[in-house]
Amino acid sequence: MECSFCGEKIDKGEGKIFVKKTGGSFFYCSSKCEKNHLKLGREPKKTKWVK
């Protein structure tokens, strides 16, 4: 799997999954990525540290 925000590879048994009401899901490698995407509403292409 890859992180939905930064694109980094996530090993099996690590990271977090956020499931939307519509059935879609986001995968995050860290709380940093999760917070930037969900809470702060940032776009990955505008952040410098994203691949």
HEC per residue, the chain: CECCCCCCECCCCCCEEEECCCCCEEEECCHHHHHHHHHCCCCHHHCCCCC
> What are the pLDDT digits (tens) for 5-51?
999 999 999 999 999 999 999 999 999 999 999 999 999 999 998 87
State how far the Cα of 33 lies from the Cα of 27, in Å rounded to an integer: 9
Query: pTM of the prediction?
Result: 0.85
Each domain of the chain, given as residue ranges in start order, spans 1-44
CATH of 1-44, one of 2.60.40.1080, 2.30.170.20, 3.30.56.10, 1.10.3720.10: 2.30.170.20
44 phi, psi to nearest 5 deg: -60, -35
First-to-last alpha carbon distance for the chain, in angstroms, is 15
| Side chain identity, residue 42 | R
pLDDT given for residue 42 in this prediction: 94
